[in-house]
A and B are shown apart, each in its own frame.
Chain A
Amino acid sequence: MSLQHPVEKIVTRYWPHKDQNTLKGYKSRGGYQQLAKALGQEPAAIIDAVKKSNLRGRGGAGFPTGLKWSFLPKDNPKPKYLCINADESEPGTAKDRFILENDPHSLLEGIGIACWALGAHTCYIYARGEFKHPSAVLDKAIAEAYADGIFGKKLLGKDFELNVYQVRGAGAYICGEETALLESLEGKKGWPRLKPPFPAVVGLFGCPTIVNNVETISTLPALFEKGPEWFANLGSGKSGGNRLVTLSGAVNRPGTFEVGMKTTLKELIYAEEYGQGLPPGRAVKGVIPGGSSAPVLTADELGVAMEFDAFKPLNSMAGSGGVIVMDDMCCMVRSLWRVVRFYAEESCGQCTPCRDGQPWMTRILRKIEEGRGTREDLETLQHVATSMAPYPPIGLGNTICALGDSGALAVHGFMKFKREFEQHIEEKRCPFGERPWGAFGDFQ
């Protein structure tokens, strides 16, 4: 299968060069020139350009980045902060990790541009605790940038102080939620904050703060190189540029790929450049399109483009771009159990519905998978999920942050395969027997 809309690579374009993660290699391909150019412009002009480019947050919610930046109050005398969310822990997602490993300087250059635009003199990169290697690469890149006089008292020679620090998390998924991230940065327990006020007004240490995803910021150098109009045209609708997606599951070629906003899920799974289809004899049963919190899509819904708004009519979401393909040998009850177990484990425990609901759903799912389930259990499961977050549409959750929604949405989504759940109950066993993981199980 060939692509209908060829993709011009932006973020991943220099990844094949092994020296791209060094300052020398990065500079040899035009690195830090966009920062120099941006420092010659007014901050307001940069924010306008980002607005014009239709760049949207790549962390999961797809919020327009330029709009987010413009929420930063102008007249607040407190210092402003930029936080980079590198706490990538959504199951099925591994894109920021490769940016940090392959092209850390694109992130640092983007940080320079963003901080200049926002007037922030300090930037924290909150990296996931398990990112041992990516963190080491990033640390080296930061040290190189300081040594080269890019960061420090003068940003690339301009009289603008910018300090960049990397902070490592301690392995909590919830710290990827922006306000929990801020709490964790402040040295507190990673509990999401009540909103409003939003971080742009009261954020890190009570100061105005912008939290952006790694991919969002590392796109900036390319965006300014080619111009915001070009960037906007590259995408479709209100989503500019390309996206990184991580393809995993029952495909022949799993991995992290750069796709266009017009690329469809089907193309992603079957195209030569991407997934190269499923193993012989297997067919798609369901696809999780954006990390495990996104409601699952069936095989009939794969024509959807990888653009942020395109998933809305299907009551799913583009999320963080973690595409998980499940084939016809994969037990959906088992899969859902695994997904919900993750959320039960990672719930921060602040709100009642999520703290008590996620483990309960896990137990019900285990019961069904082990053949002890009843029809009432299935009803209870849906009832519990609805109590945590009614569906559709997405976004009606009853908890402080969206983690409560995530587990509930997974349950709601998997109800597209209700028949399979009923089969478990009727047969009092898992119909897939000892190997419920489908093609996942084939990879050792």
Chain B
Amino acid sequence: MSDDKKPTAPAPSAAAPASGVPATAPAPIAGAPQSTSKPGAAVPPPPPAPGAKPPPKNPGMVTFTVDGKEVVAKPGTNMIEAAKQVGVEIPYYCWHPRLSIAANCRMCLVESSTSPKLVPACQTAIAEGMAIKATSAKVQEQQRAVMEFLLLNHPVDCSICDQAGECKLQDYYMRYDHKSSRLERISGIEDGPGMKVLRNKRKVLGPTVVLDQERCVLCTRCVRFMDEVAKEPQLGVFGRGSHERIDVHPQFGELKSNYSGNTVDICPVGALLNRDFRFRARAWFLSAAPSVCTGCSRGCSTFADFMGQDTYRYRPRENEQINKSWMCDQGRLSYKSLNKGRVLQSVIGRGADAREAGRAEAVKYAAAKLKPLVGSVAVAASPVASNEDLMAGLTFARDVLGAKSVYVSGRPAGEADHFLMMADKNPNRRGLESIAKALGLNVEKFEKLSAAVEGGQVKALYAIGAEMPDAGFAAKAATLELLVLQATNEDALTAQAQVLLPASTHVEDEGTFTQEGGITQRFRRAYPPKGDAQPHWKWAVELAKEMGGSLAWSSSREVFRMVAPTVPELASFEWDKQAPVNIKQGISVPAASADGRPPGWREFGAPRVKGI
């Protein structure tokens, strides 16, 4: 800000020796303002290059300068991304690396030596020798102006806006505008609200998305996403000029797409909101753990946003190989099973005899029941469990229970769609099969187990995960003499278990999944397991110890390091190096605030506590 008046003159000469740019480089920069800022230069100024085009400075690459800093980028690189390489941030709303260029927000306008006008950085192709000024006074004034235009009729209802904390309008206002509104006040009220254009504040677009038209900046990212990525062009821009609004095309009636949640993610402001997440948490209290969606075998990379011991939402995490920047709504909402209907306590006995028990007691009880049946216990493993869980669980089954084969349980197949969602709803089938094979276990179909239980050939079952492809299996399981079940969520089968051991979900422990394409991904632990739950691998280790086995692993990392070298598909996976580390730490929530409730908690109709 201090160099507002003469930002260009000292910059090139000062920057040149510091950044080691050869003496020839600053010449076009110094020349640029003279040729562009003169009022007479309405016609494009002739390029300063004398005679023929000089050869590129770096063959095969484009070399240009941003604020005097030299940038070497591949031809065709977007200017915004190229400028990032040298630490110059060009603000933008409408641009998105995975969508077509709209250049309608005009926030990314920069000065270029190739044009007398300000040019949009998102649209302008980088060219050899070009000099870009992204922070000059002229550019800053334009950024301020665009911010003022965008905020002119904005309701500024950040206090009730879900986007607050991750909103580009907020961030950019602080950085590029920071002025009060000049909009006409309602007459007679000096500091009252401005005479803003009012629009629909709660336009329900569809089952998952609601639109606040007053907050919308009409960047059309959502429209372009539905057209170009989801290939379901249901959204459109209606009206003209300042009456313009985003809406669903009439022939669709409502936004009904398995990818509608992504429009909320890419909305740079709080206009599009997820109805599931709306009003549930402030963004700054949420921490984000890099995770993997377990909704289907695609295995989209995600962030699990959590607070305390609850997951609040999944957000797609960029992964060029698998999901780019997107995820489906079905996967997005699959986080709910992490919070609800969980098995959190060990249960011993079945039916009227059932009683809750501590971990140690449950393990002892299970070991006692299993011991006499060693050799005849069938083993079922769910491909919802992680590689580490399966490695430990199957090793226990083979070495201690004497199993020769493993029956693959898991969720029943569902619908697939044209983009990301797969019919196989289990995240780790590939991992399960390769681990079982490496351990020398036969991989058997679930139907076989189902028939054997019905026929009475199988009397005892040790199951890792309660997900069963056959809904009628619970009834058949009632005939089992022994069912030792490690389950994350309650369902019909958990009621039939003699020993029910609460297992943790993937966000409660570290581990890996191998998705349908064979790509193994690591996920991070968000929070410690709820209740008495612990990972499958840990139950297996404890059961083995109790039954006289030799498993002595103390973490999922250790399980992986010990077993993975024997699994060809996983042997080359570098567990430590493949850890996504960009964990966002939310503001830590104290256990309770002064009134005994967590901060941000408001009960409708409850009286405010006096004194705070």
Contact = CB atoms under 8 A, between A and B. Distances in A.
Judge: A and B partners, yes or no: yes
Interface of A: 172, 174, 189, 194, 312, 344-353, 355-360, 363-364, 367, 372, 376, 380, 383-384, 387, 392-400
A345 B107 CA distance: 23
B218 interface: yes
A395 to B, nearest CB: 5
A189 B106 CA distance: 20
Contact of A349 (B39, B117, B149, B244): B244
Given A393-B39, A395-B117, A356 B109 contact: no
Contact of B242 (A355, A392, A393): A355
8 contacts: A189-B237, A194-B101, A312-B42, A349-B218, A349-B239, A349-B244, A352-B104, A398-B106
Nearest to B145: A387
A364 B105 CA distance: 23
A352 B150 contact: yes
A398 B152 contact: no
Contacts of A384: 145
Given A347-B240, A394-B42, A355 B184 contact: no
A359 B239 CA distance: 15
B118 interface: yes
B71 to A, nearest CB: 22
Contact of A396 (B116, B217, B243): B116
Given A194-B103, A353-B149, 20 more contacts: A194-B102, A346-B240, A348-B240, A349-B218, A349-B244, A351-B105, A352-B104, A356-B242, A360-B152, A360-B183, A363-B184, A372-B187, A376-B182, A387-B141, A387-B146, A387-B149, A395-B116, A396-B118, A397-B117, A398-B106
Contact of B217 (A352, A357, A359): A352
B contact face: mostly helix, strand, loop, or mixed: loop
Contact of B106 (A172, A346, A353, A383): A353
A423 B511 CA distance: 75
Interface in B115-162: 116-118, 123, 141-142, 145-146, 148-150, 152-153
Contacts of A359: 197, 241-242
A357 B151 CA distance: 11
Pairs of residues from A and B, 4 with the lowest C-beta to C-beta distance, nearest first: A387-B145, A349-B244, A356-B149, A347-B241
B40 interface: yes
A395 B110 CA distance: 16
Nearest to A388: B145
Given A396-B117, A400-B103, A346 B241 contact: yes
Contacts of B244: 349, 355
A394 B243 CA distance: 28
Nearest to A344: B241
A395 B42 CA distance: 7
Given A346-B241, A349-B239, A398 B218 contact: no
Nearest to A373: B184
Given A363-B184, A400-B104, A352 B149 contact: yes
Interface in B534-590: none
A353 B145 contact: yes
A349 B237 contact: yes
A35 B264 CA distance: 58
A312 B41 CA distance: 12
Contacts of A364: 184
Nearest to B187: A372
A39 to B, nearest CB: 37
Nearest to A195: B123
A355 B218 contact: yes
A396 B111 CA distance: 12
Interface in B409-436: none
Given A367-B184, A396-B116, A355 B241 contact: yes
Contacts of A380: 182
Given A348-B241, A356-B153, A398 B118 contact: yes
Contacts of B39: 392-393
Contact of A353 (B123, B146, B236): B146
A411 to B, nearest CB: 14
A356 B194 CA distance: 15
A380 B42 CA distance: 25
A39 B518 CA distance: 66
Nearest to A345: B241
Nearest to A354: B241
Contacts of A383: 145
Nearest to A399: B106
B117 A398 contact: yes
B242 A387 contact: no
Best-buried of A352, A353, A400 by chain B (most CB within 10 Å) = A352
Nearest to B122: A194
A380 B145 CA distance: 11
Contacts of A351: 104-106
Nearest to A397: B117
A349 B244 CA distance: 6
Contacts of B149: 352-353, 355-357, 360, 387
Contacts of B242: 344, 347, 349, 355-356, 358-359
Contacts of A393: 39-40, 42
B123 A194 contact: yes
A345 B244 CA distance: 11
A312 B42 CA distance: 10
Contacts of A357: 149
Contacts of B239: 349
A345 B145 CA distance: 21
A358 B242 CA distance: 9
A247 B267 CA distance: 48
B234 to A, nearest CB: 15
A232 to B, nearest CB: 22
Interface in B66-109: 101-107, 109
B101 A387 contact: no
B240 A172 contact: yes
A363 B187 CA distance: 14
Contacts of B195: 363
A146 B104 CA distance: 43
A387 B106 CA distance: 11
Contacts of B237: 189, 349
Contacts of B123: 194
A393 B37 CA distance: 11
A345 B241 CA distance: 6
B116 to A, nearest CB: 6
B198 to A, nearest CB: 13
B104 to A, nearest CB: 5
A293 to B, nearest CB: 16
Nearest to A343: B241
Contact of A358 (B40, B106, B241): B241
A392 B37 CA distance: 11
Contacts of A348: 240-241
Contacts of B104: 350-352, 400
A356 B240 CA distance: 11
Interface in B220-261: 236-237, 239-244
Contact of B241 (A349, A363, A396, A399): A349
A24 B141 CA distance: 61
A171 to B, nearest CB: 10
A357 B153 CA distance: 11
B195 to A, nearest CB: 8
A400 B94 CA distance: 14
Interface string B36-51: 0001101000000000
A396 B117 CA distance: 5
Contacts of B218: 349-350, 352, 355
Contacts of A172: 240
Contacts of A174: 240
A344 B153 CA distance: 15
A359 B244 CA distance: 12
B233 to A, nearest CB: 11
Nearest to B237: A189
B594 to A, nearest CB: 43
